[in-house]
Homo-oligomer: A and B are copies of this chain.
Amino acid sequence: MIPVDPRYLPPSAMEVPRFAGIATTMRLPLRNVADPQGAEIGILGVPWDGGTTNRPGARHGPRALRDLSTMIRMVNQATRAAPFHTARIADFGDATVNLTDVGQTMTLVEDQFSALRTAGVTPLMMGGDHLLSLPALRAMAKDGALGFVHFDAHTDLFDSYFGGMRLTHGTPFRRAVEEGLIDPQRMIQIGIRGTTADGSDRAFAAAQGIRIITIEEFRQRSLADVMAEVRTRVGSRPTYLSFDIDGIDPAFAPGTGTPEIGGFTPFEAQCMIRALDGLDIVAADLVEVAPPFDATGMTAWIGVSIMFEILCVTANAVARRAGRKPVICEDIPDPGV
């Protein structure tokens, strides 16, 4: 028997239409960062795109993701995972940010992630642009550098833009490695492609020992083989998972600021996340959904579908850390109609 707290279960899509009601993430309960007790996983929106060097709009990501997220139902048909039964998951609303002050936003976001971490809540960030992973990492790596699994079209390992700006969405992971937040030996980037300004990011990666799997290498190997390497590289210690929606091919996910053709299919993304089950995920993010460029809403829908997969493997990690067994569909008594 599973001791599920019914306050953390969304309504069934077979009872309440999925477009009805206030749009919290996946229709989960709404909580506040100032009072996080009880939740085990906290979804925190960060509506900010002040680090963007090209087309803006990721500030509107959390709103659009929440809108589409209410189409998510209870269980994962492919893996049978029942994340809302496995861990107590809540929507913590949107972080406080300062739209026109990068530095203050870095501090504000770090503080809010620290509050969740202190309360034992595993965070899943909805961006916002990719610079926001930096304050999240600053909060989550307080006990030591983390492993880092990174799905993206871009390395985000450049030093600076526009004559010395060191805090942009093209630089967060250079900063994170420099600050010791990520262990470069436990860092792996998958899906890198497109044109580039120069080779300085690759040179940094090579010097630090960061592993880069380009989309071309990915397509020449099997997905299973690549993901085995990922698991081996990050190992069993605490790991941060970061998914930039521009890792997905822009035919599927046009709603992002810097699209690059030739990316992952959504199905591949689902399979890759599922292959991370078993890792000790301590934080994750899904970033760079830019709704003004998402005419059909399908980018947000892919985003929340990936978030759901992330929640499945993160809930399992939470359960394992708590000594519980993950719940699957078949464990749920009396399935509804």
In the assembled complex, which residues on chain B have CB atoms less than 8 Å from the CB atom of A100? 50-51, 53, 102, 161-162, 165, 167-168
A195 and B17 within 8 A (CB): no
A298 and B93 within 8 A (CB): no
Residue in chain B with minimal CB distance to A46: B20
Q: Is A244 an interface residue (CB 8 A)?
A: no
Q: Is A66 an interface residue (CB 8 A)?
A: yes
Instruction: Give Cα A263–Cα B282 distance, bound, in whole angstroms.
Output: 30
Please classify the interface of chain A as helix (H, G, I), strand (E, B), loop, or mixed, using the class held by over half of its residues: loop
A254 and B214 within 8 A (CB): no
Instruction: Give Cα A52–Cα B292 distance, bound, in whole angstroms.
Output: 15
Instruction: Give Cα A195–Cα B219 distance, bound, in whole angstroms.
Output: 27
In the assembled complex, which residues on chain B have CB atoms less than 8 Å from the CB atom of A130? none
Contact of A302 among B14, B98, B198, B261 (CB under 8 A): B261
B20 and A94 within 8 A (CB): yes
Instruction: Give Cα A168–Cα B336 distance, bound, in whole angstroms.
Output: 16
A295 and B292 within 8 A (CB): no
Contact of A199 among B13, B198, B330 (CB under 8 A): B330
Interface stretch among A67-75, A136-144, A175-183? A67-75
B99 and A53 within 8 A (CB): yes
The 0/1 profile, CB within 8 Å of B marked 1, for residues 48-86 of chain A is: 011111111101101100110001111111100000000
Interface stretch among A22-30, A33-41, A115-123, A232-240? A22-30
B19 and A30 within 8 A (CB): no
The listed residue with most B CB atoms (<10 A of its CB), out of A18, A99, A193, is: A99
Interface residues of A (CB under 8 A from B): 12-24, 30, 45, 47, 49-57, 59-60, 62-63, 66-67, 71-78, 91, 93-94, 96-102, 158-165, 167-168, 170, 192-200, 203, 214-216, 219, 249-254, 258-263, 265-267, 270, 292-293, 295-298, 301-302, 305, 308, 329-330, 332, 335-337
A–B complex contacts, Cβ < 8 Å, 7 sampled:
A17-B97, A50-B100, A75-B197, A75-B198, A78-B215, A98-B163, A219-B267
